[in-house]
Structure 1
Amino acid sequence: MSTTDTTPMIHEDNLPGHESTLEPKPDWKPRYPGSGRLAGKVALITGADSGIGRAVAALYAREGADIAILYLCEHDDAEATRQIVEEEGRRAITIAGDIGDETFCRRAVAGTIDAFGRIDILVNNAGEQHPDEEVQDISEAQLRRTFQTNIFGMFFLTQAVRPHLKRGAAIINCTSVTMYKGSKALLDYSSTKGAITAFTRSLSENLVGDGIRVNAVAPGPIWTPLNPSGGASPEKIATFGQNTPMGRAGQPNEVAPSFLFLACEDSSYMSGQVLHPNGGTIVGS
């Protein structure tokens, strides 16, 4: 299945970015053999065409899950992720569209159910950012768009998926280290990540009685198309991640295992929690 349901917003930067043109290439490959921890499961992953989303799709597939790849308009990257999943022996579909559109989210969920008959795991990973040094430089259109993608999209997809989630299902949201330590140049983005963390904790309280666990992952600086395509200067890209205790940026396949842990039975006694693959930065929980 492949559908194109929206024309993406044109930004002053280069978003959405393409992993196919990024150098050096992010490392998405799983680091170890699978052990069947997601055997028979179906995962719907937003932003699965590249970056963290691709690494999660690859690892989930290796662990036995079929994957619905949701993405905006990067068809080449999405096709590459589909091939990665299929090379792991699992099924994959690609669905293109804007998660900020409630109607698209309902259609994407319906398409996943049509293809696989079930949804066991929802990974709300897709997001966008637009650096601005001054708060007055953030336009109303940008502010609305960032919230529309980063937090409204999570609500819309969760609402659409909820009727299909059974006891034992899992929802994993992608927040950020910027929610905990702030970011002077990512004011609107960081604000959405704070909302995502609150959404995660509140949704956990809402669903835990039905046997559905909701958790989150808060990555630090990870090398993905979001960073060079999101308006960061060449100087910032050259030192990206060097301010972490580990002194480097992380790779997507260093984040994906956190998403796997929260999706499988290894984390059966965890809900409403946040994991922090961030290069050693100590933050409040």
Structure 2
Amino acid sequence: MARSTPTSTSEQQRSIQQAVDAKDQRKASARKKSAASGAKKKAVQAGARPQPAPPQPKQHHAKPGRESELSPRPRYEAPAYHGSRKLAGMAALITGGDSGIGRAVATLFAREGADVGIVYLDSHDDARDTQAAVEKEGRQCVLIAGDVRDPAFCTVAVGHLIKAFGHLEILVNNAAFQEHTDALEDLTDAHWDMTFRTNVYGYFQMARAALPYLKSGASIINTGSETGLFGSPALLDCSATKGAIHAFTRSLASNLVSRGIRVNAVAPGPVWTPLNPADKPADEVASFGANNPMGRPAQPEEVAPAYVFLAAPSCASYISGAILPVMGGPTG
């Protein structure tokens, strides 16, 4: 693949998005969906504090999406979560760590005692906000901007973290591209290639770059999805990548178990992050998560503890090759 820059990748993503948006507008009258019908379901609140529920404000953002532009802002602070040094002395590298699930994971990893490296595309303001959240927890955070589709960048990113901290114990592959299409005929080669090179090649390339520095007791955690288990009619490419991520996770776990390196995945349901408002039409964003058994999307702070659990040797030393569902209840 030709070398790309974060800016050119964002431009390519926006080009794909604009083509899909144009089709959505032409089909709007034929594909209306009632956001209100989903919103009538009473949202389940089973956590430490009530979480926002549909309807959300109608919004549609340019890719790759900025957390600072979302309304309401995703919750990542997890005020009821108290750290107990489960990751003390460790260093973690998190792709897609500038926002959404990645930011929440970075925050809780720091609360558990880890220093954190954040890999992100070009959302510099979001990345600095994540860095501030990590530093507020008393840990160090380095920011590494670049495109995980580029294998050379993946090697550079790992080297940057090693130079900063001298070691690496946890790799979280979380960067993702998602853009819906209603028909297979509308899914272009460029669109398919962007999704697979970000979601699958990026995970493979980061794992390969990190492996020389991972010792026994280290772990790799991949972000899968419920769509990788059940499919999604409008996310043909993204669902395929998530299924590939699940298979890659289980295969790599078998490959690395003799070296004492654990490999697992988290498979979230709908989560309120920049990914979906930079994908779905505004009307659908308003009802995002309403069809979940809990009647709402998760907030990133509700998903991040699963990553802590899988990363911590004190919790998950005998767990490898698992796909941990965080879906708000039985789905599919």
| TM-score bin, normalised by smaller chain | over 0.9
Please tell me the residue identity of whatever aligns with 1:7.
T
* Cα distance in 2 for residues equivalent to 1:6 and 1:189: 20
Q: Which of 277, 285, 289 is the equivalent residue of 1:228?
A: 277
Q: Deviations over 1:7-48 (max 9, x none)?
A: 342223321000011110000012322100000000000000
> Do the aligned residues in 2 keep the contact of 1:61 with 1:88 (CA within 8 Å)?
yes
Instruction: Report how far residue 282 of structure 1 moved.
Output: 3.9
From 152, 155, 165, the equivalent of 2:204 is: 155
Q: Take 2:106 and 2:267, find their aligned partners in 1: how far apart are those partners? A: 18
> In structure 2, the residue corresponding to 1:131 is in which secondary structure?
coil
Distance 1:5 1:206 in 2: 32
C-alpha deviation, 1:6, in angstroms:
3.4
Counterpart in the other structure of 1:209? 258
1:195 aligned partner, one-letter code: A
TM-fit CA distance, 1:5? 5.3
* Aligned amino acid, residue 209 of structure 2: A
Cα pair 2:293 2:331 within 8 Å, conserved: no
Q: Give, in whole Å, the separation in 1 of the partners of 2:182 and 2:282.
A: 15
Contact 1:5 1:96 survives alignment (8 Å): no
Q: Pick one of 89, 98, 102 that aligns with 2:147.
A: 98
Alpha-carbon distance in structure 2 between the residues aligned to 1:86 and 1:113: 18
Match of residue 130 from structure 1: 179
Q: Which runs of 5+ in 1 are unaligned?
A: none
The letter of the residue matching 1:277 is V
Whether the 8 Å CA contact 1:8–1:73 is kept in 2: the answer is no
Task: Indicate which of 113, 120, 124 corresponds to 1:71.
Answer: 120
In structure 2, how many angstroms separate the alpha carbons of the residues matched to 1:17 and 1:99? 17
Matches within 5 A, 1:158-197: 158-197=207-246
What aligned pairs does 1:204-283 form with structure 2 within 5 A after superposition? 204-230=253-279, 232-265=280-313, 266-282=315-331
Alpha-carbon displacement from aligned partner over 1:161-201 (angstroms, at most 9, x marks no partner): 00000000000000000011111001000000010000000
Q: Following the alignment from structure 1 to structure 2, what is the Cα–Cα distance between the partners of residues 281 and 17? A: 29
- Deviation per CA, 1:211-269: give whole Å up to 9, x if none: 00000000000000000012x01221111111111111110011000000000020111
Aligned to 2:7: 7
Give the whole-Å Cα distance in 1 for the aligned partners of 2:8 and 2:174. 18
Question: Does the alignment pair 1:81 with 2:150?
Answer: no
* Cα deviations by residue, 1:84-142 (Å, 9 ceiling, x for unpaired): 10010000000000000000000000010000000000000110101100011011011
| Structure 2 partner of 1:25 | 73
Q: Aligned AA for 1:173? A: N
SS of residue in 2 equivalent to 1:153? helix
The aligned amino acid for 2:295 is G
Pair 1:47 & 2:101 matched: no
TM (norm. structure 1) is 0.96
Work out whether residues 226 and 267 of structure 2, in 8 Å CA contact, stay in contact via their aligned partners in 1.
yes
Aligned residues: 279
Does the 8 A contact of 2:215 with 2:261 survive in 1?
yes
Q: Of the two structures, which has the highest relative contact order with CA contacts closer than 8 Å and spacing of 6 or more?
A: 2
Aligned-partner SS, 1:279: coil
Q: Distance in 2 between matches of 1:34 and 1:240?
A: 31
Following the alignment from structure 1 to structure 2, what is the Cα–Cα distance between the partners of residues 26 and 85?
A: 16
Q: Distance in 1 between matches of 2:133 and 2:226?
A: 28
Amino acid at match of 2:257: V
1:110 alignment counterpart:
159
User: How many angstroms apart in 1 are the aligned matches of 2:177 and 2:91?
Assistant: 25
* Larger CA Rg, structure 1 vs 2: 2
Distance in 2 (alpha carbons) for counterparts of 1:256 and 1:54:
9
Letter in 1 for 2:101: I
Question: What fraction of aligned residue pairs are identical, expressed as a percent?
Answer: 53
Q: Any runs of at least 4 consecutive aligned residues in structure 1 with deviations exceeding 2 A, and if so which?
A: 4-9
Find the aligned partners of 1:247 and 1:114 in 2 and give their Cα distance.
Answer: 45
